[in-house]
Structure 1
Amino acid sequence: MTLTPTTAGANASPPPENSGEKEAERLPVHRLVSGATGRYIARIQVQYLADRPHAVSELARLRRGAGRRAHEVEDLWGIEGMDDLANLLAGRGEFSRSEDAEEALFLACTLWALHQQSGREQGMHQRNHHLGGAVRTLIRFQGAAGEDEEDSPLRKRLVRVGTAESLDSVAVRLREIVLLLRGAKVPLDYARLSGQLYRWQHRPDRAGVQREWGREFHLAAATAGKKGRPAADGEAIDRTLAADEEYGGYAAGE
């Protein structure tokens, strides 16, 4: 029997109420941080590239917070991404480490604003462009191909991020890298970075994040090697480290 729209509607099971909220409750917090960061940046980035005044103003505000702590800049209290994150973490209690989540989102968003400054050719937040791979791309962009990339000063900058002992130090060292990425127009996945920064703040998880940054750097070389030629911009990024679920399912422009 062919179901009419009325019959289909009568027999279809309605989606459970608050299904999105229940799904969020089951996700690990670092994925909620990644998702909130990705959705917020994606929305502003699309508008900024279209030269919308609101987005241009928002970027200028965010840049003022680059390298600072989340609640040190009163002008940035209550930014949309932070409000989204607060809603996602509601009811999670102290185990969510909400302050760490806020710091991670804030740092990632303000660094993106610095990275995107005055650039409207492309968005500097792009999925799958991991920190380690982006640094390797930058090394090749600066003409280090054929030299020992393992001894590059840029690689040492990445190592310094991993070996930092405070979030303030991480912020300063990431800011240095982001400024170099901006000059070379090499994008970065700020959603993934925010989730890593959340985990980095928890001492037992820190070594895992450090290993991820190292793997991203080394697997970028392996990815380029399979092609049998030096990687062009973006091609040195290892794609296998970024499954959709890592980002909470956001899409660019949502």
Structure 2
Amino acid sequence: MTDTLEPAARKRPKQPRKPEALGEHVASVVDDLQRRYLRQESAAIATLAQLRQAVNAEPGTAGLAAVWLPDALIERELRYDRAEPPRATPSERALHTAVTLFAIHQQSQREQRMHTPGTTFAVACQWLAAVRGNDETVHRRFAAVGTAATYAELVYHVRNLVTQLRAAKIGFDYGVFADDLCLFQQGRALNSGLTGADHVRALWGREYWRASAGPTRPAATDPDTADPSTTQE
């Protein structure tokens, strides 16, 4: 599949997707962690290390405030099974996945922001392919994301791409990403007639193939780490 957009259409600015309630919470969490990590605060460094270790754990088992949802979001969708302890909700699972993957993404990046609002996961992957010279390896891995049959399989393939994005210093919007992860877990048909998983697959596919083929991407520097002589109060 190829991008048939005319060059002028490719350059036309598009309104970036905005995070919803869950995404706004995730964006707030990772933005705070990111800022403190880039300032080399020991507490933030330790928190990200704990989050990386918790990437395969169940939501809520890491014992970290960063992986808990605010009460308003929990009350909206929490459900209980009489025969079992409370199960993780789609929002809780999406939050846990997004925050722990961010911890992997930001690891050792002391000057670059890996949470970059306005850039979706799929667009970041297209940029990764572009800077590698249209790397077929990236295309195959992204295709594997698109064919993931389960949430666990999706996360496995996304994690592989996140490590490559880290090496290329390419970030993406973890707020919008969390919303997509939550939607992927919704089995019911949407207004479009698609399940949540099919909707996310279609959305990411469009964003990936319509993204600019060039390697240009927004700068990922943090103003808190900029040279004080070049910043204004």
* TM-score, structure 2 normalization: 0.74
Contact 1:126 1:187 in 2 (8 A): yes
- For 1:31-70, list aligned pairs within 5 A: 31-70=20-59
Q: 1:113 aligns to what? A: 103
Q: Cα distance, 1:142 vs. partner?
A: 1.2
Equivalent of 2:65 in 79, 104, 108: 79
Contact 1:134 1:234 in 2 (8 A): no
1:70-98 per-residue CA deviation (whole Å, 9 max, x = no partner) reads: 24xx3x2342351xx23122542558x96
CA distance in 1, matches of 2:77, 2:97: 22
Q: 2:9 aligns to what? A: none
CA distance in 1, matches of 2:78, 2:216: 45
Q: Cα distance, 1:200 vs. partner?
A: 0.1
Q: 2:118 aligns to what? A: 128
Equivalent of 1:177 in 145, 149, 161: 161
Q: Which has the higher helix share?
A: 1
Amino acid at match of 2:65: I
Q: 2:149 aligns to what? A: 165
Equivalent of 2:171 in 175, 187, 195: 187
Amino acid at match of 1:170: L
Task: Please state if 1:216 is matched with 2:202.
Answer: no
Contact 1:67 1:171 in 2 (8 A): no
Q: Cα distance, 1:67 vs. partner?
A: 3.9
- Based on CA coordinates, which of the two structures has the bigger radius of gyration? 1
Question: Structure 2 unaligned runs (5+)?
Answer: 1-18, 80-86, 188-194, 220-233
Amino acid at match of 1:80: A
Q: Cα distance, 1:219 vs. partner?
A: 1.9
Q: Closer, same or farther in 2 for the Cα pair 1:93/1:134, shift >3 Å?
A: closer
Q: Cα distance, 1:181 vs. partner?
A: 0.3
Query: Which shows bigger deviation, 42-51 or 154-163?
Result: 154-163
Contact 1:199 1:206 in 2 (8 A): yes
Residue-pair matches, total:
187
Secondary structure of 1:92 counterpart: helix
Percent identity over paired residues: 28
Contact 2:22 2:73 in 1 (8 A): no
Secondary structure of 2:70 counterpart: helix
Equivalent of 1:198 in 182, 195, 220: 182
Q: Cα distance, 1:116 vs. partner?
A: 0.4
Contact 2:115 2:173 in 1 (8 A): yes
* TM-score, structure 1 normalization: 0.68
Question: Structure 1 unaligned runs (5+)?
Answer: 1-29, 225-229, 236-254
Q: Closer, same or farther in 2 for the Cα pair 1:130/1:118, shift >3 Å?
A: same
Secondary structure of 2:211 counterpart: helix
CA distance in 2, matches of 1:157, 1:193: 17
